[in-house]
C-alpha cells in the first residue's frame, strides 16, 4: 500500500529557541559547579584562576538561564502557578523547586569563591565607585575558606539535580520518540560539561590574568568530556531501539536532518582531530574551545528545536523558519548579550588582586 499525504496541517513548534538558551546556559552553570568542586576536592596545588573562572561562569550563566526559561513560558507572569499546588507526576513541577535552590546555592558558592577578589574597604583609601560597590559586596573582612567545601558539596548536589531534571523532563515525553531515550540525560550532561570547559578556556584567554596551567588543565577537561560525550553518542546510535531508529528514518527522508547529521559528524571529526594533537598551539586551543561550545549548543538546537519538526503521526517533517523577533533570533542574541554584559560586570568587580595571591 502506497500512502501519499494530500492535505494535512503544518504544526508550529511549541518550545521556542528560548528553551535552547535555557538548556545551554543551565548546562554551563551546573557543569562549572562540577569543575570547581572536583578541583576543590582533588589533591595538588589549588588553581585559583580556574576557580575564579568557574565562579564567574556559574554566577552569570545561573542568572541568565532562568530568565530564558521564563521567556519560554507563554505566560511568564503566571510562573507562580507552579508553586500553588502539588504535581508530583510532572518533572517540570519538580524543576520549579530545584531551579531556585540551584540559583541560590550556586550564587552563594560563586560569591564565596570570588569574595577574596573583591577589594577590602579599609586597605584601599582611594577607591573608585566600582571598587566601593565591590567592597560592599564583600560583606565584611572574614575568611570564607571554611565554608567553601560545605557549600561546594551542597551546590554540586543541586547541580546534579538540575542535570537530572532537565534531562528527564525531555526524556519523559513518550510521544516524541527522538527524546524518549535514557541516553538523552547523559548526552545533555556530558555536552554541558564540554561547553562549560570550552567557555572557561575562552574566558581564561579573554579576561585579564591568563594562566597557561589553567588552560592545560581545561584541555584535559575538554578531552575527557568530549570522550564521554562521544561515547554516549556511540552508545545511543548502537544500543538505543526507539530514538536512534527514528533518527535514521528522518535521515532517509529529510534534507534538513541530513544536513544536521553532516554538521554533527564534521564537528565531531574536527574536534577529535584537534584533540588528538599532543601539543595544541594557543590558536588551536581557542578553536577547540569555540568548537566545543558550538557542538553543545548545536546539539541542543537539534534536540529541542529540530526534533519538534518530526511529525507524531504524519510523514516528512514540519516547517520551521527562525523568526527575527524575540521568539527567534533576537531572543538568542539577547540571551548571549545579557550573559556578556554580566560577565563584563563580574570581571569589573573582581579586578582587585588579593595580597595572599601576590605573595604566593
Partner 1 sequence: MDKSKRQFLGKMASVSVGAALIPVVQVYAQDNPQSGNAGSCSQTYNASEGQVGKRYGMVIDLRRCVGCQACTVACTIENQPPLGQFRTTVQQYEVSQQDEASSPAFLMLPRLCNHCENPPCIPVCPTGATFQRKDGIVVVNNEWCVGCGYCVHACPYDARFINHDTNTADKCTFCAHRLDVGLLPACVETCVGEARVIGDLNDPNSQISQLLAANSSDIKVLKPDANTAPRVFYIGMSSAFEDRISGQAPVRTLLTDTGEEIHHGH
Give the residue among 299, 300, 342, 324 at the shortest CA–CA distance from 67. 342
For residues 3 and 358, which CB has a smaller minimum distance to partner 1 in the complex? 3
Is 251 among the residues that bind partner 1 (CB under 8 A)? no
What is the CB neighbour count within 10 angstroms for residue 275?
18
For residues 143 and 252, which CB has a smaller minimum distance to partner 1 in the complex? 252
Question: Using CA atoms in the order 265, 317, 70, 98, what is the torsion angle rounded to 10 degrees?
Answer: -60
Q: Is 121 helix (H, G, I), strand (E, B) or coil?
A: coil
Between CA 356 and CA 307 the distance in angstroms is 51
For residues 173 and 228, which CB has a smaller minimum distance to partner 1 in the complex? 173
Shortest approach of partner 1 to residue 309 CB, angstroms? 10
Identify the helix (H) or strand (E) that includes residue 346: helix 329-349
Q: Contacts by 135-144 with C-beta closer than 8 Å and gap 24+?
A: 137/111, 137/349, 139/115, 144/112, 144/115, 144/116
For residues 13 and 224, which CB has a smaller minimum distance to partner 1 in the complex? 13
Shortest approach of partner 1 to residue 65 CB, angstroms? 16
Find the radius of gyration of the CA atoms of the chain. 22
Is 252 among the residues that bind partner 1 (CB under 8 A)? no
Among 235, 318, 330, 342, binds partner 1 (CB under 8 A): 318
Q: Contacts by 146-154 with C-beta closer than 8 Å and gap 24+?
A: 147/112, 148/40, 148/109, 148/112, 148/113, 149/40, 149/41, 151/105, 151/108, 151/109, 151/112, 152/33, 152/36, 152/37, 152/40, 152/41, 152/109, 153/37, 154/105, 154/109
For residues 171 and 295, which CB has a smaller minimum distance to partner 1 in the complex? 171
Q: Which three cell numbers stand for residue 10?
A: 503544518
Query: According to CB under 8 A, which residues from 155 to 174 bind partner 1?
Result: 169, 172-174
For residues 7 and 129, which CB has a smaller minimum distance to partner 1 in the complex? 7
Is 84 among the residues that bind partner 1 (CB under 8 A)? yes
Shortest approach of partner 1 to residue 249 CB, angstroms? 9
Between CA 93 and CA 88 the distance in angstroms is 7
Query: According to CB under 8 A, which residues from 185 to 224 bind partner 1?
Result: none
Is 81 among the residues that bind partner 1 (CB under 8 A)? yes
Is 78 among the residues that bind partner 1 (CB under 8 A)? yes
Q: Is 145 helix (H, G, I), strand (E, B) or coil?
A: helix
The interface mask with partner 1, positions 266-295, x = CB under 8 A, is: ------------------------------
Shortest approach of partner 1 to residue 303 CB, angstroms? 12
Among 89, 122, 125, 278, binds partner 1 (CB under 8 A): 89
Residues that bind partner 1 (CB under 8 A): 1-12, 14-15, 72-75, 78-79, 81-82, 84-85, 87, 89-93, 95-96, 169, 172-176, 253-256, 308, 311-319, 321
Amino acid at each position: 500500500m502506497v500512502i501519499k499525504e494530500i492535505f494535512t496541517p503544518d504544526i508550529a513548534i511549541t518550545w521556542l529557541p528560548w528553551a535552547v538558551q535555557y538548556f545551554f546556559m543551565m548546562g554551563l552553570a551546573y557543569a562549572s559547579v562540577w569543575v570547581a568542586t572536583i578541583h576543590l576536592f582533588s589533591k595538588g596545588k589549588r588553581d585559583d584562576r580556574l576557580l575564579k573562572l568557574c565562579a564567574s561562569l556559574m554566577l552569570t550563566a545561573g542568572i541568565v538561564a532562568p530568565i530564558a526559561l521564563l521567556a519560554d513560558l507563554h505566560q511568564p507572569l503566571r510562573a507562580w502557578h507552579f508553586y500553588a499546588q502539588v504535581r508530583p507526576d510532572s518533572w517540570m513541577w519538580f524543576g520549579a523547586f530545584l531551579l531556585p535552590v540551584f540559583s541560590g546555592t550556586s550564587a552563594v558558592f560563586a560569591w564565596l569563591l570570588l569574595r577574596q577578589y573583591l577589594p577590602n574597604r579599609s586597605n584601599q583609601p582611594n577607591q573608585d565607585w566600582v571598587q566601593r560597590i565591590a567592597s560592599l559586596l564583600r560583606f565584611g573582612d572574614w575568611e570564607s575558606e571554611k565554608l567553601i567545601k560545605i557549600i561546594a558539596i551542597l551546590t554540586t548536589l543541586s547541580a546534579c539535580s538540575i542535570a537530572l531534571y532537565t534531562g528527564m523532563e525531555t526524556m519523559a515525553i513518550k510521544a516524541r520518540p527522538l527524546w524518549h531515550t535514557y541516553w538523552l540525560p547523559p548526552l545533555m550532561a556530558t555536552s554541558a560539561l564540554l561547553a562549560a570547559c570550552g567557555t572557561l578556556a575562552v574566558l581564561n584567554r579573554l579576561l585579564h590574568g591568563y594562566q597557561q596551567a589553567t588552560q592545560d588543565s581545561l584541555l584535559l577537561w575538554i578531552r575527557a568530556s568530549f570522550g564521554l560525550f562521544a561515547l554516549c553518542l556511540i552508545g545511543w546510535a548502537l544500543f538505543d531501539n526507539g530514538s536512534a531508529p527514528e533518527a535514521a528514518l528522518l535521515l532517509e527522508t529529510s534534507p534538513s536532518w541530513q544536513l544536521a547529521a553532516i554538521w554533527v559528524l564534521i564537528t565531531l571529526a574536527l574536534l577529535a582531530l584537534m584533540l588528538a594533537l599532543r601539543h595544541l598551539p594557543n590558536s588551536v586551543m581557542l578553536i577547540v574551545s569555540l568548537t566545543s561550545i558550538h557542538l553543545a549548543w548545536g546539539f541542543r538546537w537539534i534536540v529541542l528545536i529540530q526534533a519538534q519538526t518530526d511529525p507524531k503521526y504524519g510523514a516528512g517533517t514540519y516547517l520551521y523558519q527562525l523568526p527575527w523577533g524575540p521568539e527567534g533570533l533576537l531572543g538568542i542574541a539577547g540571551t548571549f548579550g545579557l550573559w556578556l554584559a554580566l560577565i563584563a560586570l563580574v570581571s569589573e568587580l573582581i579586578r582587585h588582586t588579593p595580597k595572599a595571591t601576590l605573595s604566593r
